[in-house]
Chains A and B, each alone.
Chain A
Amino acid sequence: MKGFDFRIFWKNYGIVIVFVIFYVILSFTSKVFFTLNNQLNILRQASVLGLISLGVFTTLKAGNVDLSVGAALGFIGVVCAKVSLRYGTTRAILAAFGVALIIGLLNGFFSTRGKNLSIMVTLSMKFILYSGTLVITRALPITGLPKNLIFLGNKSIGLLPMPAVVLAIVVIIFWIYFGYTAPGRRVSAVGVSNETSSFFGISVKRVQMYTFIISSFCAALAGIVMLGRVTSGQPNAGLGAELDAVGAVLIGGTSLQGGIGTVRGVIFGVLILGLINNGLNLLGVDPLWRDAAKGAVILFAILMDQWERKK
């Protein structure tokens, strides 16, 4: 451990370096990239993904994964939209979080029946919720939403788009939660070792339950923000977003084995995916190739992660 250790340096700053490299390359290769409008656009797009990525991150920290966040975003969004047309914004938002609570409880309840069930449980939930979205909307957009419901998605504070402000607030909450609170620390403890955690009196199932509820709440917030961004309840909102979220979280260095990963990593992972989407678009790359680029970056992140862990 003498002098400069590139491995440790990379572990701490690798994600930032990758982000800066992408950023610099795009600044030089595209005229549009560096314009204020485009920068704000990246932020706006990253916000919804950021919210659900933090949810996925929380479940991964505890050693599970929530693959229902994309469908939950869509489902909660259209429920919220429907309710708002009839009962107004306040009740619509209450309904959104109420539904989120139920989804989280169901995910948590079934996922904690045994080991490694969360993939299957939340995948089932994803299908059920997506179907529910189509049934509610009859596959048609819900329009004419109240103004005070959509402000989270389409207004700005000064230059800052509201979605980015929402994400920033949530990021701060998560940063405090994982860095400074006892419940947050226990989430990581459970992810590192169920056995050791329960040996020291931590209720593993309860902690895991909480992570699924947190994840659903993130999806609910993302769903509401999404309503505002497209000023309507779209039946396809959030479709497949869970995979982008898992990708962003993996790029950010969170381990699938649980316990390891940082909020900072998640945010940079989200921003890097945002840059890829935005940059390839600006550079005129055939959109059909976009997912291949994402896949390559995720693969690179996983390889670097393995290399970091090797002793």
Chain B
Amino acid sequence: MGRVVLEVKNLSKYFGGIKAIDGIDLKLYEGEIIAIVGDNGAGKSTLIKTVSGVYKKTGGQIFINDKEVDINSTLDSRRNGIETVYQSEGTLDSFDASSNLFLGREKLLNNFLGKSLRIMDTRYMRQETEKLLDRVGVKVKNINAEVRDLSGGQRQSVVVGRAVYWGGKILIFDEPTNNLGAEQQRRVIELIKKIRDEYGVSIIVISHNISHVFELVDRIVVLRNGVKIGERLKKDTTPTEIVSMITGAITN
């Protein structure tokens, strides 16, 4: 195992009297893909939303590269290299891929025109986009096409590519294969693996699709009722065991 990039100690989030997550401990190693699984209401979403700054934690500590960090907003988490990939607010559909990749961080011409009139270096941005898409293994016929005209998988590549392009070291995927056709699901799984291999990032995936989880990850963390039930290396476990842990047939 490599070094620990993210460590969560005794993390809790309460909503009033409800303990959405309670005393969670979690480690994520460099270049590792882990899954957080559990039934509805087990606390998966609350856990990642607390780590990514959507919610403020009630108690506990979060360490990035062994340094404790204070995460109070999504901006804080992004500053610390955590990028969360949601399906919904991913892209502007009437913009092309490169406008989406550089949204809010447009590259300006490195001369008088760029500095005074803020003219963009569209050629540079397009080249970077092509390189990035190429690296994550996506072929787009027309790089200038609006994102709405791309397939679901290609669009996902733009979203994921953007996260690593801007220096994300820890990527969190919330149900990445939800609402996709079988073929697109396969592509997304391959894309996530490819991103890990190409960029050496560490990845947390939230999913309730056990077969996808087994295809994708190295380690599985099981939550139930806001508490961590246990974790298993993929090579040491079976889908049956994980399902039993999720439903409560096995406790440890």
With A180-B122, A185-B99: A200-B117 Cβ-Cβ less than 8 Å: no
B residues in contact with A188, CB < 8 Å: 94-95
Q: Are B106 and A176 in contact (CB under 8 A)?
A: no
* Chain A 11-62 residues near chain B, CB threshold 8 A: none
Whether B103 is near chain A, meaning CB under 8 Å from some CB there, is yes
- In the complex, what distance in Å separates the CA atom of A192 from the CA atom of B93? 8
Q: Are B118 and A183 in contact (CB under 8 A)?
A: yes
B residues in contact with A195, CB < 8 Å: 89
Whether B69 is near chain A, meaning CB under 8 Å from some CB there, is no
Whether B4 is near chain A, meaning CB under 8 Å from some CB there, is no
B residues in contact with A192, CB < 8 Å: 92-95
Q: Are A189 and B105 in contact (CB under 8 A)?
A: no
A residues in contact with B80, CB < 8 Å: none
CB distance from A176 to the nearest CB of B (A): 7
Q: Are A199 and B89 in contact (CB under 8 A)?
A: yes
CB distance from A278 to the nearest CB of B (A): 34
From A260, which residue of chain B is reached at the shortest CB distance?
Answer: B94
* Chain A 187-222 residues near chain B, CB threshold 8 A: 188-189, 192-193, 195-197, 199-202
Q: Are A185 and B120 in contact (CB under 8 A)?
A: yes
Whether B91 is near chain A, meaning CB under 8 Å from some CB there, is yes
Whether A181 is near chain B, meaning CB under 8 Å from some CB there, is yes
CB distance from A255 to the nearest CB of B (A): 9
Whether A294 is near chain B, meaning CB under 8 Å from some CB there, is no
Q: Are A181 and B117 in contact (CB under 8 A)?
A: yes
Q: Are B103 and A189 in contact (CB under 8 A)?
A: yes
A residues in contact with B91, CB < 8 Å: 196
Q: Are B92 and A196 in contact (CB under 8 A)?
A: yes
Q: Are B103 and A181 in contact (CB under 8 A)?
A: no
Q: Are A196 and B99 in contact (CB under 8 A)?
A: no
- In the complex, what distance in Å separates the CA atom of A252 from the CA atom of B31? 51
Q: Are A182 and B94 in contact (CB under 8 A)?
A: no
Whether B150 is near chain A, meaning CB under 8 Å from some CB there, is no
With A193-B89, A199-B89: A185-B94 Cβ-Cβ less than 8 Å: no
Q: Are A259 and B89 in contact (CB under 8 A)?
A: no
Q: Are A200 and B106 in contact (CB under 8 A)?
A: no
Q: Are A189 and B95 in contact (CB under 8 A)?
A: yes
Q: Interface readout for B84-120 with A: 1 if CB under 8 Å, 0 if not?
A: 0000011111110001000111101000000001111
The CB with the most chain A CB atoms within 10 A, among B74, B94, B99, is that of B94
Q: Are B92 and A186 in contact (CB under 8 A)?
A: no
From B104, which residue of chain A is reached at the shortest CB distance?
Answer: A200
B residues in contact with A176, CB < 8 Å: 117, 119
Pairs A–B under 8 Å by Cβ, sample size 10: A181-B118, A181-B119, A183-B118, A185-B106, A185-B120, A188-B95, A189-B92, A189-B103, A189-B104, A193-B92
What residues of chain A have their CB less than 8 Å away from a CB belonging to chain B? 176, 180-183, 185-186, 188-189, 192-193, 195-197, 199-202, 259-260
What residues of chain B have their CB less than 8 Å away from a CB belonging to chain A? 74-75, 89-95, 99, 103-106, 108, 117-120, 122
